Chains A and B, each alone.
Chain A
């Protein structure tokens, strides 16, 4: 896909700066919308002149701020992890939800809740990391070991199969231990239960994941030209891929353990970003983070408004946005192979 602004670095910087500026603005709007609308000046006051005696300040500080910030961090994590996957596999359909990663994380969470009910938040996050890891390794292995290699359709089908399998086993466990509600929450994806602890976990792991991603961003650009070319240019592909997979696991695992299976963010955002920013992953990765954050904050606002006063799972909203996009990609890239 060709970029519309292929060469101008200034323009790219301006776009990222503008998008970055839009993040706090949309967070502010996200905080002000809710069961009771709070006007923006009160939001400002609650953040910068917090007064413990005012209820709306309490609501903002304890409920709405962590939720909005979590949305931003989850969106950024998923988008960056999708960008790395697509760059490493040169597969336009690679993304956390297509590849069964989210199902793997949910599977591990259900296992933990069933057998170690007293587990801490951090323990859940670690379990989600491991579950995501198992799923991604399985899907990659199936795709790579098959006769014609890792084509888009193979990857998608392997993801569907592994995802269905893991989801079936999770349902089995959740039915037996009566965890359907928790399970349903993760499969639908939602931000309702977020707190400052979630923000801390997301921030910590997000920074580590983003750090890894940025280290290898240059090499991913080379890798996206093809493994052979990358090797020819003297690059150690194995190390890059290991760091890449590690970053994907950290980012996806933390996002899923907090917000459940929020689908398609990791699929759409990297494509949009590539369309705007071109093929250089040093630009794509930070820009994906910003765009992903924006997309999820806006989806979260939509999820609260669409059926007010009830919440619709944010995962359903992102899927509804993502599916037409997926269909477009499938039409264009599926026929080739």
Chain B
């Protein structure tokens, strides 16, 4: 038994190291590709403060914050998906499908809509306020879904169906408010809602960083509770777990992660759904292992999608579109396989 655990841990460590290496590798690929190519050697030189001013400007002001943001958002959404799938015992749960992303998006659009005049949206204050509003929207959506799906307990299928309904309703409300905006805001909101690491700058990175740094370790700390909940409510309470209380805390964590990520990156759907499955395939059902691996896979996947979206066509494509196109086939496969 002890030996088995040791082998598992070694496997876990080697996968983690492999993923980190891949992320670092892609980090340089991503830094050097773009409309203006910078050779990897020059990237290194610039990072160590030896590049030309132009290279410094491109790397530090444009590319670096975008890539860091992709890493943070990818990790956050993936862990949010892990938690949601664990507590609902539903393999098809995801903050995008459940309408939590749309809830956050609606709150942000309302915030832009009502405070547009009194605040400069690009100002630092409003950038730090946006995750907060997104969070309120995400929590509101989650609460609404939970209450509406409650009928002597929460049945996972009902939860998903109610989530789809809430998603459609919020989308309709979004359209109404968006159309009341002026054309420039409208376009910005549309691109943002399909998921875009929009106008990435350091402020967004710093606004998102504390959420990720606090919540992912917290989720890891709760991994045992997740393991118990994943076995089903009755088994979990038999193992001495306070089912409803733990579920509430974990749900809040997942929602907070999703909300903060949506505020920074828009509604990137399906990432939180697909990544946990890949992680489970690699390492098995223990959440102590799933959470870190999911975070890294999510970060890597979003980095790749971000690079593709910026370089595939002459026009920038919102990264959310690339993520959906990459992950919907896998989702369909899961859908056909699960009961």
Interface set of A (CB-CB < 8 Å, partner B): 93, 142, 145-148, 152-154, 156-158, 160-162, 164-165, 168-169, 171-172, 175-176, 180, 184, 188, 263-264, 306-307, 310, 312-313, 315-317, 319-320, 322-324, 326-327, 330-331, 334-335, 337
Contacts and interface: CB of A to CB of B under 8 A. Distances in A.
Contact of B158 (A176, A188, A331): A331
Given A313-B175, A331-B148, A263 B168 contact: yes
A145 B332 CA distance: 11
A148 B157 CA distance: 14
A79 B270 CA distance: 31
B57 interface: no
B171 interface: yes
A331 B179 contact: no
Given A147-B338, A316-B172, A152 B161 contact: yes
A156 B161 contact: yes
Contact of B331 (A153, A161, A180, A319): A161
Interface stretch (B131-139, B206-214, B278-286, B313-321): B313-321
Nearest to A336: B157
A312 B313 CA distance: 33
B172 A319 contact: yes
A327 B339 contact: no
A157 B336 contact: no
Contact of A161 (B158, B176, B328): B328
B151 A326 contact: no
21 contacts: A146-B335, A147-B337, A147-B339, A158-B332, A161-B328, A168-B320, A171-B318, A180-B190, A307-B176, A312-B176, A317-B172, A320-B169, A320-B172, A323-B169, A326-B168, A330-B165, A331-B162, A334-B160, A334-B161, A334-B162, A337-B157
A331 B146 CA distance: 12
B182 to A, nearest CB: 12
Q: Which 3 A-B pairs have the closest CB atoms?
A: A319-B172, A323-B169, A330-B161
A100 to B, nearest CB: 11
Would you call the interface of chain A mostly helix, strand, loop, or mixed? helix
B228 interface: no
A143 B190 CA distance: 31
Say which size band chain B's interface belongs to: 35 or more
Contacts of B158: 330-331, 334-335
B172 A315 contact: yes
Nearest to A263: B168
A204 to B, nearest CB: 30
B149 interface: yes
B54 interface: no
Interface in B288-319: 313-315, 317-318
A335 B321 contact: no
Nearest to B269: A164
B169 A146 contact: no
Interface in B144-188: 148-149, 151, 155, 157-158, 160-162, 164-166, 168-169, 171-173, 175-176, 179-180, 187
Given A158-B335, A316-B175, A331-B149, A176 B155 contact: no
Contacts of B164: 156-157, 160, 326, 330
Contacts of A172: 313, 317, 321, 325
Contact of A312 (B179, B317, B331): B179
B82 to A, nearest CB: 19
A320 B173 contact: yes
A319 B169 contact: yes
B284 to A, nearest CB: 22
Given A176-B315, A326-B165, A330-B158, A142 B336 contact: yes
A334 B194 CA distance: 28
Given A168-B325, A172-B321, A323 B269 contact: no
Contact of B179 (A154, A169, A313, A326): A313
Nearest to A175: B315
Q: Which of B161, B187, B190, B314 has the most CB of A within 10 A?
A: B161
Nearest to A146: B336
B148 A327 contact: yes
Interface string B61-99: 000000000000000000000000000000010000100
Contact of B337 (A146, A165, A327): A146
B168 A307 contact: no
A326 B155 CA distance: 17
B176 A316 contact: yes
B336 A330 contact: no
Given A147-B338, A168-B320, A171-B317, 5 more contacts: A147-B339, A264-B168, A307-B176, A323-B169, A335-B155
Contact of A165 (B157, B166, B171, B325): B325
B324 interface: yes
A315 B168 CA distance: 11
A327 B328 CA distance: 24
Contact of B166 (A160, A184, A327, A335): A327
A157 B164 CA distance: 8
Contacts of A263: 168, 172
Contacts of A160: 97, 164
A75 B129 CA distance: 43
Contacts of B324: 164-165, 168
Contacts of B148: 327, 331
A165 B269 CA distance: 11
Given A165-B325, A168-B321, A327 B270 contact: no
Given A323-B168, A330-B162, A335-B155, A154 B335 contact: yes
Nearest to A153: B157
Nearest to A312: B176
Contacts of B329: 165
